[in-house]
Amino acid sequence: MFDDDFLDDDFNSMDDLLQRFEEIKKGEGSGMLDEEEFEIIIEYFFRDNNDEQALLACDIARTYYPFSVSVLLLKAEILTQAQKYGQALNVLDEMEQYDIKNVDAVLLRSDILLGQLKYDQAALWLEQQSHEFNGKEKIELLHELSDVYDECEEFEAVFDTLKRILKIDRRNEDALQKICFWADFTKRLDESVEIHTQLLEDDPYNSLAWFNLGAAYQALKLYEKAIDSYQYCVAIDEKFEFAYRNMADAFMRLKWYDQALDVLEKHLEIAKPEDVIFEAMGYCWEKQKDFHKARHFYRQASKLNPQDDTIFFKIGETYSREQQWEKAIKAYSVAMQLDKNNASYCMAIGNCLMELDAVNEALSCYLNAVRLKPSNKTIWLALIKGLYVSGFYDEALAQVEIAKDRCGDKGEFRYLQAAALFSNGKSKEGMIQLEAGLRLAPKRIKFFTELNAEFIRRASVSDLIGKYKKK
């Protein structure tokens, strides 16, 4: 807490300054204000959005301190904030007579050009001025230049400018953080590998550079090299959270789920629990077919983010893999409540209901899913297959025609059409549709044969399939 006496003294001091300023305005009193006190008054009015008084204070200050660079800079800043760009530029021109190399003035002129939407001129100005400065001031200008190039959508130039900063200061945190993103965005990943490899040869304990090298390798799908880089990163900085996240992702891409889980456990030790970490752990256990543990971590994720419907869907998927259809329906239903327009959730519930022989309810779910996403082939196939296995052959044939109209002519639709025709006793027409399916999608023939094992025992059917297999 702030000390009350200090606050009282501070306010009293400000009140005293303002009173003395009022006396000077009226030509009263013998008191004077020094340059710093004028700056405090100007900034006070500026913060209070009283531009008129702030500018008046600037003008009065200049009668006493006509060569004050700080007062001129404050005046230019106030005018810029008020979008009086022409007046602000005139003040900066005057200021340059007394201080030609003032980095704040350079940045302010750049801000004015940006305010006038003169992006190219702002970039050119900063580019020219950056050659006049060294060290921290040069870096400050180059950071501003990279932001201007971003505004101009000259993204390659953003990357190049960040490279220039790192040549001056290889540990510049802002540049290291930004260049990681821009390397990926501009697809200059190989170059990023070269840059950071060189940085690390000169500075092997640069944890951010190791992280960036790992990120570049990861984007290039060189996951083992990425993991090596992240391991160096966390060896230097064991609390580098994003290195653990990315390393876990790389392990998961390689399907090394045990190693991914070890890294995620380490992340939990050093950082605040997050739903994405628990969800990743659930995914790893699910891939290892330990559905009980997968659900445990998915539920941990749902506690932290109870509005995330996808987590409840994943819980439902684990139950489906175990053929626990009723429990799966409950989980899918929660997901559906959170996202009522998700056709995939609706279809998943329909699939479970079919397994429970609740045919009418299942078909109702499929119809609703089709309504929600009428151009999705997978949902149409689920509906038509559901109609077929339920014995509604005529309705299945009718829905096939609608599906072809919505999704285009697909081999799977022809196979379902053939099956419905065979089951309706229309073998000749069924053969025509079967051959059409074989022409469109010969590799999907199992979709047809698994509908009814009796089909393949028909000589005409097996001969036709054999003919296309030879082809």
Q: Where are the beta strands (DSSP E) in 221-309?
A: none
Residues 406-448: tens digit of each pLDDT: 999 999 999 999 999 999 999 999 999 999 999 999 999 998 9
Q: What's the rounded Cα separation, in Å, for the pair 241 and 246? A: 9
**Contact status, residue 162 vs residue 146, Cβ threshold 8 Å:** yes
How high is the pLDDT of residue 153?
Answer: 93
191, two tokens: 């170059």
How high is the pLDDT of residue 28?
Answer: 64
User: Who wins on pLDDT, 2 or 182?
Assistant: 182
368, two tokens: 């609703």
Using CB atoms within 10 Å of the CB of residue 83, give its burial: 0 to 12 exposed, 13 to 18 middle, 19+ buried.
exposed
Q: What's the rounded Cα separation, in Å, for the pair 418 and 160? A: 61
Q: Give phi and psi for 187, each to the nearest 5.
A: 60, 35
Domain 272-373 classified CATH 3.40.640.10? no
**Structure confidence at residue 174 as a pLDDT band (50, 70, 90):** very high
Q: Quote the mean pLDDT of the chain.
A: 92
**Structure confidence at residue 1 as a pLDDT band (50, 70, 90):** very low
Residues 234-282: tens digit of each pLDDT: 999 999 999 999 999 999 999 999 999 999 999 999 999 999 999 999 9
Q: Reply yes or no on whether the pLDDT at 3 is more than 90.
A: no
* Domain parsing of the chain, residue ranges: 188-253, 272-373, 386-471
Q: What is the mean pLDDT of residues 96-120?
A: 91
Q: Reply yes or no on whether the pLDDT at 326 is more than 70.
A: yes
CATH architecture of 188-253: Alpha Horseshoe (1.25)
Sort residue 107 into left (φ over 0), alpha (ψ -120 to 50) or beta. alpha
- Do the domains 272-373 and 188-253 match in fold? yes
Residues 4-32: tens digit of each pLDDT: 443 344 445 877 788 777 777 776 655 67
Q: Reply yes or no on whether the pLDDT at 184 is more than 70.
A: yes
Q: What is the mean pLDDT of residues 194-210?
A: 97
